[in-house]
């Protein structure tokens, strides 16, 4: 299986696909150059494969590339950032 992350700008989220199926997403709201990541979802049939980490990592990399900051309102994103110090500068 191939996993792919797509920035879904219209929905303000990063979608993760497993092959061609939507497997989950990391949702945010954006204001003044700050993305507030407030909700992360992995659909039940895709859980246990680490897809939440994959989508959050890619979302944070893209946020860095876009030169934006983050607010980790989602508990999963908050924990992920605390465990991955390379993203601390985004806070």
Q: Is the pLDDT of residue 1 over 90?
A: no
Enter the pTM of the model: 0.96
Say what the pLDDT of residue 37 is: 98
Nearest-5° angle of CA 15, CA 12, CA 90? 90
DSSP string of 34-74?
A: EEEEEEEEE-GGGTTSSHHHHHHHHHHHHHHHTT-EEE--S
Fold held by 3-86:
Aminopeptidase (3.40.630)
By residue count, the chain amounts to 91
Please compute the mean of the pLDDT values over residues 48-76 and round it to a whole number.
98
Reference 37, options 79, 5, 83, 65; nearest CA is 79
Cβ contact 25:55 at 8 Å: yes
Predicted confidence (pLDDT) at residue 84 exceeds the cutoff of 90: yes
């Amino acid at each position: 299986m191939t996993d792919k992350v797509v920035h879904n700008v219209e929905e303000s989220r990063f979608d993760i696909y497993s092959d061609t199926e939507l497997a989950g997403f990391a949702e945010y709201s954006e204001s003044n150059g700050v993305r507030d990541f407030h909700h992360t979802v992995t659909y039940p049939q895709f859980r246990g494969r680490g897809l939440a980490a994959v989508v959050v990592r890619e979302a944070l990399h893209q946020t860095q590339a876009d030169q934006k900051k983050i607010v980790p309102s989602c508990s999963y994103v908050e924990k992920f950032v605390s465990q991955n110090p390379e993203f601390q500068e985004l806070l």
